Structures are given as structure tokens and as C-alpha cells.
Structure 1
Amino acid sequence: MLNKSNTTWPQKPLSEVVDLNPRLDKSAYRDDLEVSFVPMAAVEAGSGRMEVSQTKQFAAVKKGYTPFREGDVLFAKITPCMENGKMAVVPKLTNGIGFGSTEFHVLRPHDGMDPRYVYYFVSAQGFRREAAHHMTGAVGQKRVPQSFLQEASIPVPLLENQRRIVAEIEKQFSRLDEAVASLKRTKANLKRYKAAVLKAAVEGKLTEVWRKAHPDVEPASKLLERILAERQGKWNGRGKYKEPSTVDSSGLPTLPEGWLWASLEQLSWHSAYGTSVKCGYDNSGPNVLRIPNVESGRLDFGDLKFAPKSFQIERDEELSVGDVLIIRTNGSRSLIGRSAVVRQPLMSRSTYASYLIRFRLVQISEVVAWVSTIWDVVFFSPMD
């Protein structure tokens, strides 16, 4: 919002430069006239865009809706629409008139006021913050009163200067949009490049030259024998040791000579769901890692919850280096399968919630490094 201290432009109450919620002479319109209809959802938050393709007959909307015309500025008065920036300049309408939600204030600029200048002023974050402080009503139904808009002060440069200001704002916004689009393209390209590199890695193409120069490297079959031996050596379950499930490689890509497919069960000696203990931010017990803490391939400790002080972590429930946490269930399908590997000792004792499953990897360095690197890209395909 423009500040009086840094401009010589005259300051005027909004009510002196716009008509607030102007009345409509309904007798001037036929009941069967098609008019634009704009529900709150048709105004996009923060962008100034609005959809006006929907129409209704005048008779259906002349009562119980807010009238407006081309060039008016719509200002959402109810929370959270106002705070989110649901404001817009009304574009060309069907038969020049529209109706919309009763939760809009309508600002009709006087001659000498550019509607876009008024829009940018009332949609600015500073103005919206001030409007939020003046809201009235019950929680969840608070609204900006008309009196706030009437008394709000706006700097009023000459119309020519208003247009220059608007043009500069839109030029900068256009540059910002281009920068955002370029960043999205770059991120998409990096994601594709990373996927291509790892695909080449797991198919053996990335190390093809190196393998030819090192023909005596340990084959995967021997490595798997070492892994399975360690796995059996750590067995502490009930009853007889159970061999892990193997991989049916029919239908899977052909691997380079000396490589083989292995299951995650073969590479780990224990797996289990997490705890269902109720955790919270104000508890003083051990850390309980949850879905928000599982990023792609790493752990994020920025949003930690804790178990009650009385909660005791069993030895097998405590997270340690080499553990793989995988999101096994969630309301969002796009998160299922996301994983993180514990790569280094944790600062404090931690366990994990029941929405996660943990695989405790066999402590052979090649196993931990390989799974840490490739799980999310090769095995986890988001289902957005």
C-alpha cells in the first residue's frame, strides 16, 4: 500500500473517488435478459483474474445477488477470501451487466480514476492486512465493513500518472511470471535429467566403460550371498529362520552381466510398522517421525512431534543408521511410496509413526549407499 510519507500526491478517502456498492435501477432491464453471473469461486485469489462466461437470466439474479458492471472493482469482504486476495477489475460482461456473490463489495471508480490503479491499491498486502484488522462478525464469518472502505485513504495522482504506475506494475509482474515459468521449466528438466541418469545407472549403462576396465569386480551374486548371510546371522525372530522373498524378474529389464534383481526384503533383516502412540508438539518424550518428516530420500526435522514423557521406545523400535522409512498409507496417493534413509546417527532417540513402515537394511556399505541413492527415483513413481 502506498504511504503518505513518501509521496506528494493528495490523499483522499476511497468514498470520494469511488462509489461503494452502487445501486442498480432494476426497472431498466427485462427479466429475460441474459447477464453474466460470477460466484466467489470464479474470482482467482491473488491474480486479479475472474471468469465471466457463466450467464443467468436477469429475473433469476435481480434479488439476492450483488450487481456490478464493466470496469467496477470487486473486493471480497469475507474471510478468508479477502485475505487471499480475491479482488478483480470486472472485464467485458454479457449485455454489460453482471451479478455475483453477496460477499463482494463493489467499487465503481469515478472519472479520473483508473480501475486498475484502484484494484492494485486495494489488493495490496498492506491494505488487506489493515482490512483484516477492521473485520467484524463471528469467527469464520468475519467481514470487512463498508465503513472501512469508505474511510480508507488512497493517494490520488493524476490519471496519466495512475496509468504509468499500472503499466510499470504489470511490466514487473510480467517479468516475474516469466521468471517463475523459467524456473519451473528448469526444475522439470533437472528432474528428467536426474531420472535419466539414475535409469542409466540401474541399467548398467552409466558404468559400462568402467566395468570393462574392471572385469574382476565382485559379481552381484556374491554380494547377495554376503547380504543373506548377514541377514540370517541377525535373525532374532520367533521360530525357524524364514528365507526372504525373491524377485520374479520375468518382465523386468535385462541387467548387465554380473548383476541381478533383489527384493527389499532380501536387503533388510527386519521390517515393521510404526507406533500408534498419540504424539504432539508439547510433549516431552522421544521424537516420533511422521509423514511430513519423510522427504524424497532424506529426513526433515523441521516439523517434529513427540511422544508422551512416559513413552518408552523398545530397542527394535528405535531408528538407527541404515533404516529405510517408507510411507505406506495416506489420504494423498501421491505420497505413498515416498521414502527416506537414516544416513547418520540421530541427535536424540527417535521412533516412527504407524503410517510408515521401516526396513532395517543389512549393514553392508554397498547396500545402504545404493538404496539411499535410487529408491525414490527408480521405485517410487508419484501418482498425482
Structure 2
Amino acid sequence: TTELHVIRPLGGIDPHYVYRFLQQESVRRDAAANFTGSAGQLRAPMSFIADLELPLPPLAEQRRIVGKLELLLGKVSSSQQRLSRVPGLLKRFRQSVLAAACSGKLTADWREENDCVEPASDLIARLGSERRERHRELCVAAKNDKRGKPQEFDNIEPSVRTDLDTFDLPSDWSWVDLRFVMTVDEPFCYGVVQPGVNEPNGNLLVRAGDLQNGTVNLSELRRIPADIDAEYERSRLKGGELLVTVVGAGIGTVAIAPTSCAGFNIARAVAKVPIRDVSAEYVFQWFNTSKALSWMVGDAREVARPTLNLEQLRTILVPLPPLSEQQEIARRVEKLFAFADQIEARLRQAQAHIDRLTQSLLAKAFRGELVPTEHALAEREHRDYEPASALLERIRKESKIGSLPVTRRPRRRS
């Protein structure tokens, strides 16, 4: 194949020594700078390989360098393997925290100290009454302004489920549909179906790919023309809404729209869930549990792409605690996740250090600083040795090739 160059070291040159030399980042960087061919078929030419200058010590020293590198890089590899397990452990830790939070286990001690709070059943009744009154007000206002009747909010009457065995919920918690925790004042909808061209002066659009790490990544938002944005006025954000990916491979990815997104619009693949009367942070945390995600993915329909329609989303169940407990849960989860974030930051630092260590060891080895030189050992042991110059001359004679270029390395005592 033309994708590989075969290097056969001559006698007196350890192939493992050459292999480790080629692993150096400096060699790979120089190779990339000399690539030939077209995109997708780039390769280092054989002339580049042939012209590489290899620092060549005596054979015994080559073998000591290889042995030392194998020992040290083996330890580096073991460290990398141990570090590679940490992200999985942190992911399981976060899921355990969320499962405990949304089943009441995380705040069991809090409930013992706060037994006079309004239970979720009373919260549901109170919010239901307030929502019915608010809906009537919206209907009257629409009639007076000669506007169309506001959206029918079938979530005014909550569909409370008390026969679920998914979790053993505390007695003052209740299961409700997502539609119940949404405010009646703002549309529950998805966004722009055809965003058109990326308009430099248009309104910013939040797409599914912009939902990252529980918030909106503002760095790569696109803009939509003003006329298209005006057509989708109902899907504009105010900040604080729950955003859910409902189309594509990322179904179930959620974020809370920051206030800095006020006025932005959303794409078709994103659903806007307006939440005001309960803790949006708590609902967000519930949607990040493996159980909620499995429900959303399981309900998705496969058309051209997996799609979760609004009716399916609005009936996703939420284990609802008393309002004050929702807020306490959100606070505790945030604190525990901040602890996990700190570990992740330290992990990234450790991984970067390990990556640098590999290249540092290779560079040190080929500067002649990793093991005692053959010259120093021979002097210490009062014996003769074959210097690299003699090795090169022997290789030349045995292989019947012309003179080999030599750049002498200064002797180092160690």
C-alpha cells in the first residue's frame, strides 16, 4: 500500500529505538509540514523519512533508552487508563444524585426538619385554581381586543397520577404531567421550521446543537431574516424557559434559557416549555435523569429523523415535591454537581500533564538525558566500547552503501 512506508533498520540499530524516535511530536509536526497529495490522501513523502536525522548512540545505549522508555511510558499508560475511568464514574455519580433528588432520598433529612410545608397535592389544587382564573382573564382580554381565543390549556386540570410504581415517592409528593407545570401566559411550542439564509443583521436563533451543558452556547448562534422571525413571534424567548431537543439524535437534551437569550428565537428541533409557578431548575434536573430521558426517547417517532411531538412531551411525567423542597433539591444538586465539576477540571489538568509527560520523556530520551551514556558507563567501568561513529562505519561496510552523514553529539558526563 502507498499509505505506509516500511523502515528496516540495519544491524546495530534497534528498531524499537527508531519507533520511539518517530513517536515524537516534533517529528510528526515536521512530517505534517511536508505532506504531499490531496485532501484525504495526504502522506509524508519517502524523501522526508530518508532525510530525517536520527540521534544514534551505541547499540547498548539504544537498548537502555528503549528499556527505560518502556518502563516509564508503561507507567504513563497505566495512569492514563486510570484517569480514563473517571468520566464514567462522574457520569454515574451525577445520575445517582439526580435519581436520589427526584425520588426524595436526597432531601429525606430536610423533610424531617420541615414537616409543615404545603404538600404537592395542595400546590396542585392552588395552581389549578389560579390557572383557571388566568385562562378566563386571557379569554376576556382576547375578546375585548378582538383577537383570536387563546390556546386551549387542557393542562388547567392536571392529570395527576397516583398509581405509579416508578419511584416510591414521599407521601407529600405527587406525579403530574409536564403540561401542569407550564404557565398559561406563554406558548408551549417549537420554533422556526425553515430558518432561511443566515442573515447577518437578523435575529439570533437557538438550534438543538446550541443546547450544551444545561444552557445555551452563544458562540455559534445563527441569525434569521426579520420577516421569518416575525412569523414565529410566539416562539421567541424571554429567559428562564426549559428548552428541550425534540428532533434528531439529541432528543431529550435540555437546557434553561438564560436571561441573555431574551428576544432570541428557537428552531423547529427545539421545544420551548414556559415554567413559572414551580422551580424550573428542579424540572430541568428531573429531565436529566435516565428515567425521564428513556421516556422521551421511547416516545419518539421515527419519520425522516426521530421526533418527539409536543403532545408526547407535554404528557411526560414529573415527580412533583412541595415548592420549598423543589428549591432545596435544586440547591443541593447544584452543590454536588459543582463538586463533580471541580473533579472534572482537575482531571483535565491531570490528563494534559500526562500527555505532556509522554512527549517530555521522548524528547529527554533523544537528547541523551534519560539514561547514562555508553561513554560515561565505559569510563566508570574501565572498559572499551564501540562508539556510534564506529557503529556507523560498520553498518556502511556490512550494507555496502556509501558514506553516511554524521552529526556528532557532544559528550555528556553522567
The SS at the match of 1:157 is coil
Q: Which residue of 2 aligns with 1:162?
A: 62
- Higher percent of residues as strand: 1
Aligned to 1:193: 93
Equivalent position to 2:247, from 321, 329, 335: 329
CA–CA separation in structure 2 for the residues paired with 1:240 and 1:253: 33
Quick check: 1:176 aligned with 2:76?
Answer: yes
Per-residue deviation, residues 132-172 of structure 1 (Å, max 9, x unmatched): 23222333333322222222222222223333333343344
Change beyond 3 A, Cα 1:120–1:247: farther
- Once the two structures are TM-superposed, the CA of residue 261 in structure 1 deviates from its matched residue by 0.6
Deviation at 1:360, TM superposition (A): 1.3
1:85-137 Cα shifts (integer Å, max 9, x gaps) = xxxxxxxxxxxxxxxx4421111111122212212222333222322232223
Cross-structure match for 2:293: 380
Deviations 1:303-342 (A, max 9, x none): 3333347753554222222211111122x3xx32111112
Query: Which residue does the alignment assign to 1:258?
Result: 172
1:307 aligns with 2:224: yes
In structure 1, list runs of 5 or more residues that go unmatched: 1-100
Note if 1:134 corresponds to 2:34: yes
Name the CA distance, whole Å, in 2 between partners of 1:278 and 1:320.
23
Partner of 1:58: none
Equivalent residue number for residue 378 of structure 2: none
Contact 2:237 2:262 in 1 (8 A): no
Q: Distance in 2 between matches of 1:130 and 1:118?
A: 16
Residue 337 of structure 2 corresponds to which residue in structure 1? none
Matches within 5 A, 1:217-228: 217-228=117-128
Partner of 1:104: 4
Which structure has the bigger radius of gyration? 2
Aligned residue runs from structure 1 range 1-384, under 5 A? 101-229=1-129, 231-232=131-132, 233=134, 238=149, 241-244=152-155, 246=159, 248=161, 249-269=163-183, 270-275=187-192, 276-278=194-196, 280=198, 283-308=200-225, 312=229, 314-330=232-248, 332=249, 335-342=250-257, 344-346=258-260, 349-361=263-275, 363-364=276-277, 366-378=278-290, 379-381=292-294
Identity %: 29
Q: Deviations over 1:177-198 (max 9, x none)?
A: 3333333333333332332233
**Alpha-carbon offset, residue 251 of structure 1:** 4.1
Aligned mates of 2:150, 2:261 — CA distance in 1: 35
**Structure 1 residues 202, 170: closer, same or farther in 2, change over 3 A?**
same
Other-structure match for 1:98: none
When residues 180 and 123 of structure 1 are mapped into structure 2, their CA distance, relative to the original with a 3 A threshold, is: closer
**Could you report, residue by residue, the CA deviation over 1:15-67 in whole angstroms, capped at 9, with x for unpaired residues?**
xxxxxxxxxxxxxxxxxxxxxxxxxxxxxxxxxxxxxxxxxxxxxxxxxxxxx
SS at match of 2:271: strand
Q: Do the aligned partners of residues 175 and 367 (structure 1) sit closer, same or farther apart at CA in structure 2, a change above 3 Å counting?
A: same
CA distance in 1, matches of 2:172, 2:91: 29
Q: Which runs of 5+ in 2 are unaligned?
A: 140-147, 298-414
Shift of residue 265 of structure 1? 1.5
SS of the residue 2:175 aligns to: coil
- Contact 1:327-1:357 at 8 Å conserved across structures: yes
Cα separation, 1, equivalents of 2:57 and 2:92? 50
Q: For residue 156 of structure 1, what is the amino acid of its counterpart?
A: L
SS of 1:257's partner is: coil
CA distance in 2, matches of 1:302, 1:218: 42
**Would you say the 8 A contact 2:238–2:262 is kept in 1?**
no
Partner of 2:329: none
Q: In structure 2, how many angstroms separate the alpha carbons of the residues matched to 1:139 and 1:171?
A: 38
Displacement of 1:290: 2.2
Give me the TM-score of the superposition, normalised by structure 1: 0.62
Cα deviation for residue 212 of structure 1 reads 3.1
**Rounded Cα–Cα distance in structure 2 between residues aligned with 1:341 and 1:167:** 54
Distance 2:108 2:181 in 1: 24
3-state SS of 1:336 partner? coil
The 3 A distance-change label for structure 1 pair 209 and 142 is closer
Q: Is the 8 A contact 1:296 1:376 kept in 2?
A: no
Q: What do residues 340-378 of structure 1 show as CA deviations (whole Å, max 9, x unaligned)?
A: 112x411664222222222111x12x4213113332125
Q: Which residue identity does 2:246 align to in structure 1?
A: R
| Preserved CA contact (<8 Å) 1:292 1:303 | no
Could you tell me which amino acid in structure 2 is paired with residue 287 of structure 1? Answer: L
Cα 1:230–1:345, aligned 2, differ >3 Å: closer, same or farther?
farther
Shift in CA distance, 286/112, structure 1 to aligned 2, threshold 3 Å: farther
TM-score, structure 2 as length reference: 0.58
Residue type at the aligned position of 2:254? S
1:89: which partner in 2?
none
Aligned-pair CA distance for 1:203: 1.8
Shift of 1:259: 0.9
